[in-house]
Structure 1
Amino acid sequence: MKQNHYTGLTDAQVLESRKKHGANRLTPPEKESLWKMYFEKFEDPLIVILMVIGIFAIGVSCYEFWGLGEPFPVFFEPIGIFVAILLATGLGFYFELKAQKEFTLLNQVNDEEVVLAIRNGNVVEVPKCDIVVGDILVLQTGQEIPADAKLLEAVSLNVDESSLTGEPVHPKTTNEAEFDSEATYPCNQIYRGTQIMEGHGYAEVFAVGDNTENGKIMQSLVGADFDDEEEDDEALVGLDEKQKRAVKLQRKNKVSKKVKTPLNEQLDGLSDLITNISYVFAGLIIVGKLLVYFDWALPVWGLIIPTAIFFWLVIKKFEDFSKWQCMTTIVVFFAIFIGAVIGLHNLLLPEAEMSHLMAYSLETIMIAVTLVVVAVPEGLPMAVSLSLANSMRKMLKTNNLVRKMHACETMGATTVICTDKTGTLTQNLMQVKESVIDEDAFVYEAMAVNSTASLDFSEGKPHAIGNPTEGALLLWLYNKKQSYQELREATSRLAEVPFSTERKYMATMVQSGVKEGKKVLYVKGAPEIVLGLCKHMPSNHSKEDYEKTLLDYQKKAMRTLGFAYQIIEDDQKVIENGKLVADDLTFMGIVGIEDPIREDVKDAVEKCLHAGIDVKIVTGDTIATAREIGRQIGIWKDSYTERNIIDGRTFASLSEKELLERVNDLKIIARARPMDKKRLVEALQAKDQVVAVTGDGTNDAPALNAAHVGLSMGAGTSVAKEASDITIIDNSFASIARAVKWGRSLFQNIQRFLLFQLTVNVAACFLVLCGAFMGTESPLTVTQMLWVNLIMDTFAAFALSALPPTDRVMNDKPRDRKAFILDKSMLANIIGVGGFFFVLLLGFLYIFQHSDIQQLTDLMTLSLTPEKNAVTPYELTLLFTIFVMTHFWYMFNARAYKSGGSGLNLKGCDGFITITIIILVGQILIVQAPFLNSFFNVVPLKMVDWAIIIIGSALVMIIRELFALIKKI
C-alpha cells in the first residue's frame, strides 16, 4: 500500500464546511425549567407541614382580627413564616443552580479534548468540537473518534463500537474483500464516540454533531423522561433500544454527581441520626408547652402517647411509606392532637377563649416543626455539592479535570501513588542524546517508515505529534535535514506488527525506496528484545559492545531503542497472522533518548512523602534507568536494597503470599506490563492502602479501573481517560500533589460546616426545649428560627464549603477513610462550645424572667426577684440577637478549624466575607427596620446594647485567637 501524502482542508475550507454542515457539538437535551426546579424545593415534607400550619395560623389570625378585634400585627408572624420559607427555598435554589452550572461547565470539557487532523498539509492538534466535514483524521490506538468518517487507510484497525452496537471489538478495513456483510455498520466507516483499541490509519469526516450516528441516537431522547444520573437499569425501563443506547452515551460524557462515596455514606448516617434526635426534641417541646399551658394537669400527660407513636412512625416507618401513607399519618395525628387539645380545653379551661388555645397549639407545633427544620442539616448535601463543584472547578485551573466526583474526596485519603515515568515525572520533551548507529539512508528510512508519529510544522518550528519516543526520532531526522514525509511516501507499506507493551517492539515491512526493488522488514523496540531477535551484528560492533553501551545509557536515565532490518527474498516469510516470524534479522544499532526530569517534580514528590503518601514508580524502562530516575526525584535512597526494586518478569513470578509480604516495600517496578500495574494496585488494596495510579495508554485501563483513584494523562488515550477518575491535563506529578491537597482541604471544609452547624444545633435545641418547660414564650420564635436556619444551613454551607486549600494539610498523615467524620476534637467543640452557648443563653433567659432589663447595662445593678415575670419583647430581642451574634463570631472559629492559622486570615475567602457581611447587615435590619422587625417579633435595640452584644459576643473569637497565638509561641 503506497504511503499517501494528505493535504487536508485549508483554513478557508474549514470555515466554509462549518458554515454548511455545522459545528461538531451535540445539541444537549432540553433542561428542566427553572420554575419546576424551584417548586421542587417545596416538596420537602417539613416545608409542606410548615406551610400547612402557616395557612392554619393565617386562619386563626383572621379570626382574632375580625372576630376578636385584635390589632393587625396578629398577621405579622404567619406572613413572616411564609416570607422566611420563600427566602430559604429561594437561596437554596440559587446555590443549587450555582453548583449545577459548575457541573455543566465540567461536562463541556470533553468537547475541548484535542484530536489529530491534517490541515494545510500538516498534522495538527484540533479540539474535537472544531472538527468539520471533510477533515482528514489521523487515527491512533486508544483514540476516541470525534466524528463519523470513512476510512482512507487502516492498519490492524479494531474499534470498540459497544456504545452503538454492543460489540466491544469490531475490525475495520478499506479492503472490500474483508468486509463483513452482517456488520451493523459498514466496515470502512467509523463513528463518533467509539474508540480505537488497536491499529492506526486515516479517515475523512462525512458527518459532525447532530448529523452523526451518535447525534441521531441522542436526538431520540427528546421527550423521553429518565434520570440520566441513575446507574441501575430502572432508568431504562420504557425506552426503546435506540433510546437506551442514547442514555448510555449521555452518561458516558457526564460528570457524575450521584456517586456514593464513603463520605456520602457517613454524612447520610449522621444526617439520619441528627434528624431522629431532632424529632425527639420536637415531641418533647409539643408535650412540654401544652403541659405548661394547662398548668401540668394530669390528663395532659396523655398527649405523650399519640405524640410518641407519631414520631416513632416518622423515624422508623416514613422512609418505607408511600407519600400517601405519610400524608395520611400526618393528617390522622393532627386530627387526634387537635381533638385531644379541644377536649382538654373543655375539661380543664372551659371559660377560656378557644381561639387563643388554637393559636397557642398551632404555634407550639410550628416551633416543634421549625426546630426540626433548623436541626436537620438540609444544607449538608448542598455543602457537599458546593464543595465538590467548587473543588472540581478550581482543580481544573490546576490542571486536574475531575471526571468522577468521588475522586475529589478520595484523593485526600490516598496513601500510595503509583506513577509512571514518561511525561509525569519527566518533561515529555524527548530528544536523541546519543547513538551508536551508522547514519545512512537505510537507517533514515527505518526510522521514518517504522513509526506512527508525525511532526506538526504549523507553528514554524516542528513539534512531535503522537508517541513522544517515536517523535524524538523524527525530530532527529529533521535535524539531519531528512524529510520523514518524503521517506515514507517513497515506500509502500506491505505488512505491520503494531507495538504492544507485551512485545515491546513494532515491525513494518515495506517496498523500500532506498533499496530499490527490495522488500525490507524494519524492527524497532527495547534493545535487549531486538538484540535477542537478531542473527547478525554489524561488522564494526559486537553484541557485548552494544550491551555495554546500553547499560551506560540506562545509568544516565535515558530511554533506549534498538533497530534491526532484514532484506526479504521472495520466498521468505517474516510476518504471519500478525506475528513476527523473521529469523534472519541484522542489528542496526541503538539510540539513547533523553527526557529531562520536570523541575517541579522533586518538590512535589517530597511534599507527598512528607504528607505520609508512599510514591512508587511503575515504568516500562529498565531497572537501571528507573533507579536513576527514582534517585533524582528522591524516591530511591542509597540504603534501599534489591527488595525495594523489581522487574516485571520477577514481579509476575511472585506468589500472592510473596507479593503481599513485599508490596509495601517496593519502590520501583521496571519493565512493567499493564497487568503488573493492576496486580500491584490490588495487592496494595489488600494491605488496606488507598491507591491512586497514573496511566496514559489503552492497556493501563485495567489498573486505572482497579485503583481507588485512576489518574489519566492529558496526552493519554481516550480509553485511559474513560477508565480514569481524574485527568491530569499537563501530565505533571506536581498536579497530582495539588489534587491531594484539594482532596484533603475539601474534607476539612465539610468538617468545618458540620462543626458550625452542630454547635448551633446544640444551643438552639436545648434552649427552645428548656424554654418550653420554663413556661415562657418560646425563646426563639418560628420566624427567628427560620432566620437562624438560613444562617447556619444555606449561608454557612456556601461560606465554609468554598474556603481555599492550604499547604498545611500536606503536613498531616492520610486520614482513615473508615474513621467517623466527627473526630474527637470536633465532638469536644460541639458539646463544649454548644453547651456553653446554651448555658449562657439560658442564664440570660432566667435573668430576664426574674428581673426587668431595660438595657444590658442594667446587669451591673442586677436584682433578681423570686417570682417569675413575663419576658418583655425587648428582652426576647436581646436574647435572639445575642444568640445570632455569638454564632456569627463562632463561624470565624469554624473557618479556622484545623488551619493552624487565624480565623481572621481571609485571603482568598471572598465568598466567606460576603456571607458574613450579609449575616451582620441582615441581623441589624431585622431588628432595626420597622417593617421587618414586626415580622420577626422583635423590637429595635438601643445603640449601647448593639455595642455590648457585638463586642461581648466577639470574645468567642478573640479567646480562640489568643489561644492559637499562645500555642504558636
Structure 2
Amino acid sequence: DDIAALIGYVGMAAAAATFVAMMFIKLVVKPAYLEDVSVFNYALDAFIIGVTIVVVAVPEGLPLAVTISLAYSTKKMLADQNLIRHLAACETMGNATNICSDKTGTLTENRMTVVKGVFANKAQEDTTDPECTPDISDEAREIILQGIATCSTARVVIPEETGPTSDDEDDDLENELTIKDNRPQLIGNKTEAALLLLARSKWGGADDTKARRDSANFGKAGGSRLFPFSSRRKRMTVLVTEKGCDEWVMYHKGAAETVLADCTKYLDADGATRPMTPEKRKYFETVIKDYASEALRCVALSHRANIDSVLDPATATAESAEMAERELCLDALVGIADPLRNDVIEAVATCQRAGILVRMVTGDNLDTARAIAKEAGILTKDGLAMIGEEFRKLTPAQLDEILPRLQV
C-alpha cells in the first residue's frame, strides 16, 4: 500500500512539473510556434496532459509496486534461510494452509549413527562407546563385517595428513590459518555410511571395508554382482565371491520387518546358523518395535550361503535375485539414530500457531515415523498416521474424511 501511494505521489509530482514546465515555455520562453495559441487554451492543454500523467501513472505503476514488494519479501525471507526462486511463490506461500515435509535431512540432520543393535543374537545397547567391542565370535563378526562392506554403495574417505610444501612465509602462514576437517568424509547413502563407520570403529576392529570391496571384484568379469537399493522393496542385494574362491554368498540388507519375514535361520554368537523358531522370530519382532518406538531406523543384515546352487550369478537379473531372497539367515538388527534439527520443534509450532497443518512424509517404518513426528510436535493426540499402501486404497469420500487429521 505504501509503495502504491508513493507511485501516486510521484505521478502527481510529475504532472505538476509538466504543467509548470509547459507554462514556463509559453510565458517566459515564448517560442514562435506558440504565438497564435492563447494562454487559456495552452494552459488547458497543459492541465489535460498533467491529468493524463496522473491517470496513467497509477495503473501502470501497480505492477511495478507488486514486483518491488515481492522482491522485498524475497529478501526478507532469504534472511530467514528461505530461498525463493520465483517471486510469485512469496504470494503462494502466504496462502499455504498445509506443509508436507520429508523427514530425513529436512526435519532431521541426516547424520546417521548406529547406536545399538542385536549382532549374531547378542544385544548390544551402546555401540557409540569408543571402547565398545562385540560379545560374539570372530567367525560371526566376520560374516557381519563382510555383509556391511560389500552390501553397500557408500564410501568413507579418510582425509590425508599433509603438511606445508613451501618454504615461503606467506604460504606457511596460510597453512597455519587454514582449518582442516580431519573427520571421515561420507559419500553416498548416509544409512550405509553409518554401518561402514561402525565397521571401521573398535567394534569392527578398524575393518578395512574398501579392501573387502576390492577383493569382491565388483563390476569385473567373473566378479561380484550388485543389485542396488529399491525404494519400492526397501532392500538391496549383492552376490559376492572373493578372488580365488568359487563359493558365492548373497548378502542382503533392508527394512528390518521385510527382511525378517524372509529369514528362516539366524546367526548365533558362535558363528553357527540356527533355525528361526517362532519364539526367536517373536523376539526379533519385539526388538524392531522397541527400536521404532525410540525413533530409531531399524535395518536388518542377512545372508544366504551357496547362492550359486539356486541361480547363476553371472547371468542373474534383479528379478531372479529377488526370487532368491528367501530362506535367509538373519545376521544383525541395527538401530540407527538421526537426531532432529535444533530448530524443527519451534518451526513446527510456529506453523501450527499460524493455522498451517504440518504433515510428515517418510519411507521409514510407521512406528519410527510416529515416534519422530511426536518428538517434532507434528503428530498430535487425535492425529492419524498411515502407510502409503493403505492411503492409496482409500476412496475420495474416505480421503475427505481423514485428511483433516492425517499427519504422518
With the length of structure 2 as denominator, give the TM-score of the two structures.
Answer: 0.73
Residue of structure 2 aligned with 1:405, choices 77, 87, 96: 87
Once the 2 structures are TM-superposed, how far is the Cα of residue 387 of structure 1 from its aligned partner?
Answer: 3.0
Q: Look up the match of 2:335.
A: 592
Residue of structure 1 aligned with 2:254, choices 499, 514, 525: 525
Q: Look up the match of 1:658.
A: 398
Q: SS at 1:382's partner residue?
A: helix
Q: SS at 2:386's partner residue?
A: strand
Q: SS at 2:286's partner residue?
A: helix
Please give the residue correspondences for 1:229-244 in structure 2 after superposition, counting only pairs within 5 Å.
none
CA contact (8 A) 1:605 1:615 kept: yes
CA contact (8 A) 2:252 2:301 kept: yes
Q: Could you say if the C-alpha distance between residues 545 and 445 of structure 1 is closer, same or farther in structure 2, counting changes exceeding 3 Å? A: same
Residues 696-723 of structure 1: CA distance to partner in whole angstroms, max 9, x if unpaired?
xxxxxxxxxxxxxxxxxxxxxxxxxxxx
Please give the residue correspondences for 1:487-566 in structure 2 after superposition, counting only pairs within 5 Å.
487-493=212-218, 494-512=224-242, 516-538=245-267, 539=273, 542-566=280-304
Q: SS at 1:400's partner residue?
A: coil
Once the 2 structures are TM-superposed, how far is the Cα of residue 666 of structure 1 from its aligned partner?
Answer: 0.9
Residues 339-364 of structure 1: CA distance to partner in whole angstroms, max 9, x if unpaired?
xxxxxxxxxxxxxx743133223212
Q: Could you say if the C-alpha distance between residues 625 and 63 of structure 1 is closer, same or farther in structure 2, counting changes exceeding 3 Å? A: closer
CA contact (8 A) 2:304 2:329 kept: yes
Once the 2 structures are TM-superposed, how far is the Cα of residue 64 of structure 1 from its aligned partner?
Answer: 2.9
What is the CA–CA distance in structure 2 between the aligned matches of 1:633 and 1:569, rounded to whole Å? 44
What is the CA–CA distance in structure 2 between the aligned matches of 1:354 and 1:624, rounded to whole Å? 89
What is the CA–CA distance in structure 2 between the aligned matches of 1:568 and 1:623, rounded to whole Å? 34
Q: Could you say if the C-alpha distance between residues 578 and 636 of structure 1 is closer, same or farther in structure 2, counting changes exceeding 3 Å? A: same
Between stretches 546-555 and 628-637, larger displacement belongs to: 628-637
Alignment partner of 1:468 is 2:190 = yes
Q: SS at 1:446's partner residue?
A: helix
AA at the equivalent of 1:640 = D
What is the CA–CA distance in structure 1 between the aligned matches of 2:18 and 2:351, rounded to whole Å? 55
Q: Which has the higher contact order (CA 8 A, sep 6+)?
A: 2
What is the CA–CA distance in structure 2 between the aligned matches of 1:608 and 1:569, rounded to whole Å? 52
What is the CA–CA distance in structure 1 between the aligned matches of 2:387 and 2:56, rounded to whole Å? 60
CA contact (8 A) 1:464 1:475 kept: no
What is the CA–CA distance in structure 2 between the aligned matches of 1:508 and 1:529, rounded to whole Å? 17
AA at the equivalent of 1:658 = Q
Once the 2 structures are TM-superposed, how far is the Cα of residue 543 of structure 1 from its aligned partner?
Answer: 1.7
Alignment partner of 1:452 is 2:153 = yes
Q: Could you say if the C-alpha distance between residues 590 and 599 of structure 1 is closer, same or farther in structure 2, counting changes exceeding 3 Å? A: same
Unaligned runs of at least 5 residues, structure 1? 1-48, 70-352, 669-969
Paired residues, what number? Answer: 334
Residue of structure 1 aligned with 2:144, choices 443, 462, 481: 443
AA at the equivalent of 1:661 = E
Residue of structure 2 aligned with 1:581, choices 323, 326, 333: 323
Once the 2 structures are TM-superposed, how far is the Cα of residue 432 of structure 1 from its aligned partner?
Answer: 0.3
What is the CA–CA distance in structure 2 between the aligned matches of 1:586 and 1:574, rounded to whole Å? 20
Q: Could you say if the C-alpha distance between residues 369 and 67 of structure 1 is closer, same or farther in structure 2, counting changes exceeding 3 Å? A: closer
Alignment partner of 1:430 is 2:112 = yes
CA contact (8 A) 1:553 1:592 kept: yes
Residues 246-297 of structure 1: CA distance to partner in whole angstroms, max 9, x if unpaired?
xxxxxxxxxxxxxxxxxxxxxxxxxxxxxxxxxxxxxxxxxxxxxxxxxxxx
Once the 2 structures are TM-superposed, how far is the Cα of residue 593 of structure 1 from its aligned partner?
Answer: 0.3
Q: Could you say if the C-alpha distance between residues 402 and 454 of structure 1 is closer, same or farther in structure 2, counting changes exceeding 3 Å? A: farther
What is the CA–CA distance in structure 2 between the aligned matches of 1:54 and 1:448, rounded to whole Å? 84
Alignment partner of 1:484 is 2:209 = yes
Between stretches 570-579 and 58-67, larger displacement belongs to: 58-67
Q: Could you say if the C-alpha distance between residues 64 and 608 of structure 1 is closer, same or farther in structure 2, counting changes exceeding 3 Å? A: same
What is the CA–CA distance in structure 2 between the aligned matches of 1:613 and 1:63, rounded to whole Å? 65
Alignment partner of 1:647 is 2:387 = yes
Q: Look up the match of 1:681.
A: none
Residue of structure 2 aligned with 1:617, choices 354, 360, 376: 360
CA contact (8 A) 2:18 2:50 kept: no
Residue of structure 2 aligned with 1:635, choices 360, 363, 378: 378
Residue of structure 1 aligned with 2:49, choices 331, 344, 366: 366
What is the CA–CA distance in structure 1 between the aligned matches of 2:34 and 2:302, rounded to whole Å? 106
Q: Look up the match of 2:306.
A: 568
Residue of structure 2 aligned with 1:376, choices 37, 53, 59: 59
Q: Could you say if the C-alpha distance between residues 591 and 68 of structure 1 is closer, same or farther in structure 2, counting changes exceeding 3 Å? A: closer
CA contact (8 A) 1:574 1:581 kept: no
Once the 2 structures are TM-superposed, how far is the Cα of residue 627 of structure 1 from its aligned partner?
Answer: 1.5
CA contact (8 A) 1:56 1:362 kept: no
Unaligned runs of at least 5 residues, structure 2? 1-14, 121-139, 160-180, 219-223, 268-272
Q: Look up the match of 1:150.
A: none
CA contact (8 A) 1:557 1:629 kept: yes
AA at the equivalent of 1:486 = A
What is the CA–CA distance in structure 2 between the aligned matches of 1:373 and 1:405, rounded to whole Å? 25
CA contact (8 A) 2:301 2:330 kept: yes
CA contact (8 A) 1:560 1:591 kept: yes
Q: SS at 1:536's partner residue?
A: strand
Once the 2 structures are TM-superposed, how far is the Cα of residue 560 of structure 1 from its aligned partner?
Answer: 0.7
Please give the residue correspondences for 1:723-738 in structure 2 after superposition, counting only pairs within 5 Å.
none
AA at the equivalent of 1:591 = V
What is the CA–CA distance in structure 1 between the aligned matches of 2:17 and 2:157, rounded to whole Å? 66
What is the CA–CA distance in structure 1 between the aligned matches of 2:39 and 2:318, rounded to whole Å? 92
CA contact (8 A) 1:50 1:366 kept: no
Q: SS at 1:517's partner residue?
A: coil
Q: Which has the larger radius of gyration?
A: 1
CA contact (8 A) 1:416 1:614 kept: yes
CA contact (8 A) 1:496 1:578 kept: no
CA contact (8 A) 1:526 1:560 kept: yes
Q: Could you say if the C-alpha distance between residues 404 and 65 of structure 1 is closer, same or farther in structure 2, counting changes exceeding 3 Å? A: closer
What is the CA–CA distance in structure 2 between the aligned matches of 1:384 and 1:608, rounded to whole Å? 25
Q: Look up the match of 2:167.
A: none
CA contact (8 A) 1:558 1:595 kept: yes
Residues 873-929 of structure 1: CA distance to partner in whole angstroms, max 9, x if unpaired?
xxxxxxxxxxxxxxxxxxxxxxxxxxxxxxxxxxxxxxxxxxxxxxxxxxxxxxxxx
Once the 2 structures are TM-superposed, how far is the Cα of residue 506 of structure 1 from its aligned partner?
Answer: 1.0
Higher helix residue share: 1
What is the CA–CA distance in structure 2 between the aligned matches of 1:56 and 1:632, rounded to whole Å? 72
Please give the residue correspondences for 1:778-817 in structure 2 after superposition, counting only pairs within 5 Å.
none
Residues 746-772 of structure 1: CA distance to partner in whole angstroms, max 9, x if unpaired?
xxxxxxxxxxxxxxxxxxxxxxxxxxx
Runs of 4+ in structure 1 over 4 Å off: 49-63, 65-69
CA contact (8 A) 2:144 2:332 kept: no
With the length of structure 1 as denominator, give the TM-score of the two structures.
Answer: 0.32
AA at the equivalent of 2:264 = K
What is the CA–CA distance in structure 2 between the aligned matches of 1:435 and 1:584, rounded to whole Å? 22
What is the CA–CA distance in structure 1 between the aligned matches of 2:399 and 2:43, rounded to whole Å? 71
Q: Look up the match of 2:100.
A: 418
Q: SS at 1:645's partner residue?
A: coil
Q: Could you say if the C-alpha distance between residues 569 and 665 of structure 1 is closer, same or farther in structure 2, counting changes exceeding 3 Å? A: closer
Q: SS at 1:628's partner residue?
A: helix
CA contact (8 A) 2:259 2:300 kept: yes
Once the 2 structures are TM-superposed, how far is the Cα of residue 535 of structure 1 from its aligned partner?
Answer: 3.3
